[in-house]
Homo-oligomer: A and B are copies of this chain.
Amino acid sequence: MWKGCAGMDVDYTHGYSCQETDRLHDQASVLTDLLHFDTLFPSGHLVLEAGCGVGSQTRILSRRNPNTRFVAVDISRASVDQAQQCARSLDLKNVRFQVQDINSLSFRSRSFDHVFICFVLEHMADPVKTLVELRRVLKDGGTLTAIEGDHGSAFFHPDSDAARKAIGCKVRIQAEAGGNADIGRQLYPLMVKAGFRDPFVTPRMVHANGGRPDLLEGFTLKTFTAMIEGVKDRAVSGNLIDEKLFDQGIRDLIRTTEPGGTFCYTFFKAQAIR
Contacts and interface: CB of A to CB of B under 8 A. Distances in A.
Interface of A: 150, 152-153, 155-157, 159, 182, 185-186, 188-189, 192-193, 198-203, 205, 207, 209-211, 259-262, 264, 266, 268
A159 B209 CA distance: 27
B199 A207 contact: no
Contacts of A261: 189
A30 to B, nearest CB: 14
A201 B157 CA distance: 14
A232 B151 CA distance: 29
18 contacts: A150-B155, A155-B185, A157-B182, A185-B262, A185-B264, A186-B262, A188-B210, A189-B260, A189-B261, A192-B210, A193-B260, A199-B211, A200-B211, A201-B209, A203-B205, A203-B207, A203-B264, A207-B268
A191 to B, nearest CB: 9
B189 A209 contact: yes
B210 A189 contact: yes
Contacts of A193: 260
Contact of A211 (B198, B210, B260, B268): B198
A153 B192 contact: no
Contact of A207 (B156, B157, B202, B209): B202
A183 to B, nearest CB: 9
